[in-house]
């Protein structure tokens, strides 16, 4: 599906509104001596929607809250504030059977495929389990379904008799993708699914995501710290900075008209994103910095007025939203 077909006003697969995920601070001695807060919002007032059939990239440096959002979307965390809607259903505080019933529709692929596969289970068992747990197919049809999924993810059918230690990282990630697909989900969240793999297989796995997504039309949220990957794969890109969504726009907009100074900094350092903070200045400190724009301490466009409160998301046209009081200075 081409980006233009993801109508802006089509009903979303998932809508996240004002989401707050709060964690207890992992307090070191330094933090205890300084005093300060005992909790912080790893995800703070974040709103966005995932449109049917799109690939939405979630980018930002390490610690910005990407994984936390991804897990929250699958209701692996309990939101502190805000809401999460899956199609027409409010799932923010869903529990018990109602939550179990929607789980098959929402799947996650993790960075490290080994962490999500039991080393004592054959690939066949790994793939059969979700089918049997959710009572999706007659036991006679399990193997047919497994063979079909293995073909879809580009693995020989005979691999179902293998165990995780008999396979390479790329092959294991194909299994993890197959397991995410086997219950016909509506949404997959893939959390840096190629960053632990050998460079030589990354492109193959990215292409597998691209193929599967195009063929099945599943909505995909693709978390990455690598903007080149996001550019290759995503229809839209959402940029996170310390728990805040700071910019979201179609991929071409992000690369041709990045308005947020953080996005511009990321693009300027596209060669070494992920190898450390790309910016000068102290990063936002959730224990001591409470007010104002979280990017203030590093921002080249900052004004005193940016310290009053964190800027709200504002629509600037072209399906482009941004949280910056000074974005007009960048829009030349
Ligand atoms: N379970 C947790 N308990 C406490 N703090 C957490 C937990 N998970 C993540 N964090 C903190 O939340 C912030 C965001 O983490 P994360 O979502 O993993 O970021 P990213 O995926 O962008 O690297 C980080 O400061 C991290 O240390
Ligand atoms: Mg992460």
Spatial distance between the Cα atoms of 187 and 220, rounded to a whole number of angstroms: 6
Task: Give the pLDDT mean for 224-231.
Answer: 93
The answer to whether residue 167 is domain-embedded is no
Spatial distance between the Cα atoms of 201 and 174, rounded to a whole number of angstroms: 11
Of the candidates 330, 262, 254, 259, which has an alpha carbon nearest to the alpha carbon of residue 294? 262
Return mean pLDDT, the chain.
90
pLDDT attached to residue 241: 95
The maximal CA–CA distance of the chain, rounded, in angstroms, is 68
Spatial distance between the Cα atoms of 298 and 281, rounded to a whole number of angstroms: 5
Q: Are 150 and 156 in contact (CB under 8 A)?
A: yes
Distance from the Cα of residue 135 to its chain's centroid: 28
Q: Which DSSP category does 193 fall into?
A: T
Note the pTM of the prediction, 2 decimals: 0.92
The answer to whether residue 253 is domain-embedded is yes
Q: Which DSSP category does 319 fall into?
A: T
The answer to whether residue 216 is domain-embedded is yes
Report the number of distinct structural domains present in the chain: 1
Give the ligand with the smallest distance to the CA of 239: 1
Check if 225 has its Cβ closer than 6 Å to any atom of ligand 1.
no
pLDDT over 90 at 271, yes or no: no
The answer to whether residue 111 is domain-embedded is yes
The answer to whether residue 139 is domain-embedded is no
Write out the residues surrounding ion ligand 2, Cβ under 5 A. Answer: 66-67
Give the sign of the dihedral formed by CA 208, CA 213, CA 214, CA 216: positive
Range of the domain at 286: 11-27+36-117+184-330
Check if 26 has its Cβ closer than 6 Å to any atom of ligand 1.
yes
The answer to whether residue 130 is domain-embedded is no
Instruction: Give the length of the chain.
Output: 332
Q: Could you report the per-residue pLDDT of 88-134, keeping only the tens digit for each? A: 999 999 999 999 999 999 999 999 998 889 999 999 999 999 999 98
The answer to whether residue 17 is domain-embedded is yes
The answer to whether residue 205 is domain-embedded is yes
Q: Which DSSP category does 117 fall into?
A: S
Report the CATH number at residue 309: 3.40.50.300
């Amino acid at each position: 599906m081409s980006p233009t077909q993801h109508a802006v006003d089509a009903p979303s697969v998932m809508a996240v509104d004002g989401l707050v995920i709060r964690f207890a601070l992992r307090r070191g001695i330094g933090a205890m001596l300084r005093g300060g807060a005992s909790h912080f919002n790893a995800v703070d007032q974040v709103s966005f929607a995932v449109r049917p059939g799109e690939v939405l990239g979630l980018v930002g440096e390490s610690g910005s809250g990407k994984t936390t959002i991804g897990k929250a979307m699958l209701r692996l965390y309990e939101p502190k504030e805000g809401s999460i809607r899956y199609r027409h259903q409010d799932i923010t505080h869903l529990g018990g059977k109602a939550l179990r019933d929607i789980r098959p529709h929402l799947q996650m692929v993790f960075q490290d495929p080994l962490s999500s596969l039991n080393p004592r289970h054959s690939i066949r068992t790994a793939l059969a389990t979700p089918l049997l747990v959710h009572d999706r197919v007659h036991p006679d049809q399990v193997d047919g379904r497994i063979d079909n999924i293995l073909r879809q993810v580009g693995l020989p059918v005979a691999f179902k008799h293998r165990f995780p230690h008999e396979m390479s990282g790329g092959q294991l990630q194909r299994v993890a993708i197959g397991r995410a697909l086997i219950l016909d989900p509506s949404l997959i969240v893939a959390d840096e699914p190629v960053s632990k793999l050998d460079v030589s297989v990354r492109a193959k796995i990215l292409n597998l995501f691209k193929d599967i997504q195009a063929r099945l039309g599943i909505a995909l949220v693709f978390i990455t710290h690598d903007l080149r990957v996001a550019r290759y794969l995503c229809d839209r890109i959402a940029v996170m900075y310390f728990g805040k969504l700071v910019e979201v726009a179609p991929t071409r907009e992000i690369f041709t008209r990045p308005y947020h100074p953080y996005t511009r900094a990321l693009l300027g350092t596209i060669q070494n994103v992920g190898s450390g903070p790309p910016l000068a200045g102290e990063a936002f400190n959730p224990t001591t910095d409470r007010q104002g724009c979280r990017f203030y301490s590093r921002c080249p466009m900052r004004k005193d007025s940016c310290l009053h409160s964190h800027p709200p998301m504002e629509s600037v046209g072209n399906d482009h939203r941004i949280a910056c009081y000074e974005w007009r200075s960048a829009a030349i």
